[in-house]
Amino acid sequence: MIKWYKFEFFDWIPTVIRSQSVKDEDWQIIRKSMLNTDLEFKYETLQNWLEKNKYSDKSKIQTQNYMQALKRGGLIE
């Protein structure tokens, strides 16, 4: 079972900070690479992104936001 809760870092992220983080060009390339892929690939990609960015706050915001979008889309619980 995939442990999506590992991408829950913050209780609340200010809108402006979230917006700046997710508009990052490198993040957009990664995000687009996950289109039409299975959940295991998405999970591994998010985990690799965090590791590559040394678990920076920005990378945590990006991965948490993506995981929350998956939840809103009904793809994960």
- Tell me: pLDDT of 74 over 90: yes
pLDDT value of residue 1: 82
- Give the pLDDT confidence of 6-27 residue by residue, as tens digits: 999 999 999 999 999 999 999 9
pLDDT value of residue 53: 97
3-state SS assignment for residue 30: helix
- Give the pLDDT confidence of 30-55 residue by residue, as tens digits: 999 999 999 999 999 999 999 999 99
CA distances from 19 to 22, 34, 37, 58, 76 (A): 5, 19, 24, 11, 23
Give the other-Cβ count within 10 Å of 72's Cβ: 9
The alpha carbon of 77 is separated from its chain's Cα centroid by a whole number of angstroms, namely 15
State pTM to two decimals.
Answer: 0.93
